[in-house]
Chain A
Amino acid sequence: MTDAPDPLIAEGRLLTRYVLGRSPPDEAGPRYAAAVRARFGGSPLHDPVGAAAIRQPLFLPLLDAASGLAAPHSPLRERLLIAAAITETLPQCAHDFMPRPMPWPGLILTLVLAALLTALRLLLGLPLFFLLGGRWRSHSEQPA
């Protein structure tokens, strides 16, 4: 008999990969699960928006962008924050979070690209967010 895979570890792998933009080291998933257990008592995301983002990873960037604007302290954003904290403190990933000084052209390009991507994601993400029952400025899970 094999143990059922821990859904929190799977959630952690997905969210850390998304935040990082590439595969995170193996310890990211279990450490994410430990953090969620310590801070929220430990069930996988189950609110409609969060659950949809996990079930259908294509939705994740859209719902993240929409939640960032509409519900910054929603369960999905709080879990993404945990994923970011876990990845940032892995030595293999630290560089991805370090300040990156750039001259004017690089800075402007980075800002313009981020604005375009955000506009696109919001265009699709906001309707999806409200369709899934997301609510404006809804609140977070209670930290343990």
Chain B
Amino acid sequence: MTTPDVAVIGSGASAVAAAWALARAGRSVRMLDVGVDAPPDAPLVPMADWARIRRTDPHQHRFFLGDSFEGIPLGAARVGSQVTPPRRFVTRDAPTLLPRTAEGFVGLESVALGGLAAAWGAAISPWGPRDFEGLPISLPDLLPHYDAIADLIGVCGDAGDDLSPLMHNPQGMMPPLDTDPASTALLARYHAHRADLQRKGLRLGRARLAACSRIHRGRGPHPNLDLDFWCDHGDAVYRPRFTLRELLALPNFEYVPGVLVRTLHPDASGVRISLRRLADNTAEDTRATRVVLAAGALGSARIALRSLGAFSTPVPLVSNTSTYHAFLNLPAVGAPQHERRHSLTQLTGLFSPPEGGPEMQLQVYSYRSLLTFKLLREQPLAFPEGKSVLRALLPILSLVGMHHQDLPSPDKQCELRAREGSDSLHIRYHTSPREDADQLTAESRVRALFRSLSCFALRRVHLGHGASIHYAGTLAMSDHPGPLNTSPDGALQGLPGVFAADSSVFPRLPARGVTFTMMANAHRIASLLAASFP
């Protein structure tokens, strides 16, 4: 095996973004990945709309419930409930290969081909200038990379809506997907009151999505079959495997699945990479001139801490607090229904208290394609009454995810703990009473604004810290990097030749989703790295 210029660890959203920039710049790239994939005999979801499948397909239980009925959620609601049976491979084997213990933290990790984004909701929210406060980079540094990633993954949204003044609209943004009837009614109501609502800090617009509303790079257009939680018809909603497919067409790119990277050992001629081949559980070494760590904020921290022998050394961890609120959206009563729809976020909202204070991001969904029975366990009525009430309320139910910023603190940390012959990541994550109180206050202000739109909150659900599945901060970048920090170009202190490109480098998380910005930053770091070769 020849030594590649760069080994990229992982095949998730950050890894493929970095690999793309490197390979396109002419560097030879080898991607090392565990790469669990869907079983080849997984049942296929037919190409028909959701309602038609429901009425006609005798095998629908195989993908809706799973062959082991694992899609029936029993017990209390848990993180990752949107990860449906056809996407369960995304979290398979992660608990055994990436052992973790935690206090006050629930979370998901992935060792899948494409990582967590093989199941993500594809909502993108470019960060605003304020979101870069405290970072050694600023929005202008990322703008060209937002555009490059938008071209790579395909994004859609409404460039003329009320979110546009606060969000960079990437070049080539496609028109938005249609909203469903409940969200259309809510948006119309917002427009009727927008001046007042904006004065009070609330802006709503159609969701920016990593989805193709028309044909782009051979993908799309989105078929509007309401099956986005179950399959990738038309390849319209972005998954990292689509970039991997493009990468594999390049002669200077190679994908090596089935390996778990353990440690990195920089030396005079590059980096020696120690890994475990999972098929036969053998240890092996390989080499690269440079290494890009893109194994997820937690996965990359494991590899870095282990490589430096930094056991029981705490590093920061941040994760957006997310809560979900069910609203009765009364403007939608009696709205005509249609089958053409998508299942992803319909609307995005930004709430900034007019007197100042952290921004909060809202994601508005409707509930239909995840099936009615899952909501039956969340309601207190007998099943037959619960069913008829839910059927009547579903067309006017809006689920609003409220996402808060997160800042580092001594109570939010993780450390690698040695165990016989192995190790495990221990997470300790506790918010302060002040943070909790501020978040509750912001949420109740948004609920009051929604009331003025005739949307009434029924219930708030908080699945626990970490349930947002947005993690960062473990190898934070800094202008004055110390041990276990990264410099603005991603270089990891203490491990020369190793660069971090995933969300581990963000010291704090604004309320806006991290993935699009993480991909843009991975592209930036990889472009700098590519240019640094003689």
On whether the beta carbons of B392 and A91 are closer than 8 Å, the reply is: no
Distance between A140 CB and nearest chain B CB, rounded to angstroms: 6
The interface residues of chain B lying within 8 Å CB-to-CB of A81 are 72, 74, 373, 376-377
On whether the beta carbons of A21 and B75 are closer than 8 Å, the reply is: no
8 A Cβ contacts from B342-360 to A:
none
On whether the beta carbons of A101 and B395 are closer than 8 Å, the reply is: yes
The interface residues of chain B lying within 8 Å CB-to-CB of A110 are 388-389, 392
Q: How long is the Cα–Cα vector from A88 to B371 in the complex, in angstroms?
A: 8
The interface residues of chain A lying within 8 Å CB-to-CB of B70 are 38
Q: How long is the Cα–Cα vector from A100 to B392 in the complex, in angstroms?
A: 5
8 A Cβ contacts from B304-335 to A:
333-335
On whether the beta carbons of A89 and B60 are closer than 8 Å, the reply is: yes
On whether the beta carbons of A104 and B388 are closer than 8 Å, the reply is: no
Chain A CB within 10 Å, residue with most, of B58, B68, B373, B382: B382
Q: How long is the Cα–Cα vector from A143 to B74 in the complex, in angstroms?
A: 7
On whether the beta carbons of B64 and A89 are closer than 8 Å, the reply is: yes
Given the known interface contacts A38-B68, A61-B382, the answer about A114 and B55 at a Cβ–Cβ threshold of 8 Å is no
Distance between B328 CB and nearest chain A CB, rounded to angstroms: 10
On whether the beta carbons of B392 and A102 are closer than 8 Å, the reply is: yes
On whether the beta carbons of A97 and B391 are closer than 8 Å, the reply is: yes
Distance between B222 CB and nearest chain A CB, rounded to angstroms: 21
Distance between B391 CB and nearest chain A CB, rounded to angstroms: 4
Q: How long is the Cα–Cα vector from A102 to B395 in the complex, in angstroms?
A: 9
8 A Cβ contacts from B39-75 to A:
51, 54-58, 60-61, 64-65, 68-72, 74-75
Contact code string A101-131 (vs B, CB < 8 Å = 1, else 0): 1111011001101100110010000000000
On whether the beta carbons of A97 and B69 are closer than 8 Å, the reply is: no
B386 within 8 A of A: yes
Within 8 Å by CB of A94, from B54, B74, B377, B381, lies B54
- Size bin of chain A's contact surface: 35 or more
Given the known interface contacts A38-B69, A78-B74, A81-B74, the answer about A21 and B382 at a Cβ–Cβ threshold of 8 Å is no
On whether the beta carbons of B373 and A84 are closer than 8 Å, the reply is: yes
Within 8 Å by CB of A39, from B58, B74, B371, B377, lies B74
Q: How long is the Cα–Cα vector from A103 to B392 in the complex, in angstroms?
A: 10
Q: How long is the Cα–Cα vector from A47 to B270 in the complex, in angstroms?
A: 64
On whether the beta carbons of A103 and B373 are closer than 8 Å, the reply is: no
8 A Cβ contacts from B169-224 to A:
181
Q: How long is the Cα–Cα vector from A61 to B181 in the complex, in angstroms?
A: 34
Within 8 Å by CB of B333, from A80, A100, A103, lies A103
The interface residues of chain B lying within 8 Å CB-to-CB of A80 are 376, 383
Given the known interface contacts A35-B72, A114-B381, A114-B389, the answer about A89 and B334 at a Cβ–Cβ threshold of 8 Å is no
B372 within 8 A of A: yes
The interface residues of chain A lying within 8 Å CB-to-CB of B380 are 68-69, 72
The interface residues of chain A lying within 8 Å CB-to-CB of B376 are 80-81, 84
Within 8 Å by CB of A98, from B377, B382, B391, lies B391
Within 8 Å by CB of A111, from B68, B387, B392, lies B392
B285 within 8 A of A: no
Given the known interface contacts A94-B54, A98-B51, A98-B391, the answer about A18 and B384 at a Cβ–Cβ threshold of 8 Å is yes
On whether the beta carbons of B55 and A91 are closer than 8 Å, the reply is: yes
Distance between B227 CB and nearest chain A CB, rounded to angstroms: 14
The chain A residue with its CB closest to the CB of B64 is: A89
The interface residues of chain B lying within 8 Å CB-to-CB of A114 are 381, 385, 388-389
The interface residues of chain A lying within 8 Å CB-to-CB of B74 are 39, 73, 78, 81, 140, 143
On whether the beta carbons of B334 and A103 are closer than 8 Å, the reply is: yes
The chain A residue with its CB closest to the CB of B67 is: A38
On whether the beta carbons of A101 and B61 are closer than 8 Å, the reply is: no
Q: How long is the Cα–Cα vector from A118 to B58 in the complex, in angstroms?
A: 34
The interface residues of chain B lying within 8 Å CB-to-CB of A61 are 382, 384
Distance between A40 CB and nearest chain B CB, rounded to angstroms: 8
Given the known interface contacts A97-B391, A102-B334, the answer about A121 and B382 at a Cβ–Cβ threshold of 8 Å is yes
Q: How long is the Cα–Cα vector from A90 to B56 in the complex, in angstroms?
A: 9
On whether the beta carbons of A68 and B60 are closer than 8 Å, the reply is: no
Given the known interface contacts A19-B384, A35-B69, A68-B380, the answer about A89 and B61 at a Cβ–Cβ threshold of 8 Å is yes
Q: How long is the Cα–Cα vector from A80 to B373 in the complex, in angstroms?
A: 10
Chain B CB within 10 Å, residue with most, of A69, A81, A96: A81
Within 8 Å by CB of B58, from A82, A91, A117, lies A91
On whether the beta carbons of A104 and B334 are closer than 8 Å, the reply is: yes
Apart from A39-B72, A80-B376, A94-B54, what 9 extra A-B contacts exist at CB < 8 Å? A18-B383, A68-B382, A69-B380, A88-B371, A91-B56, A107-B392, A107-B396, A110-B388, A111-B389
Residues of A within 8 A of B (CB): 18-19, 21, 31, 34-35, 38-39, 61, 64-65, 68-69, 72-73, 77-78, 80-86, 88-91, 94-104, 106-107, 110-111, 113-114, 117-118, 121, 140, 143
For this complex, 5 residue pairs linking A to B, each with C-beta atoms less than 8 Å apart, are A19-B387, A73-B74, A73-B75, A84-B373, A106-B392
6 nearest interchain CB pairs? A99-B394, A94-B54, A84-B373, A65-B382, A89-B61, A101-B395
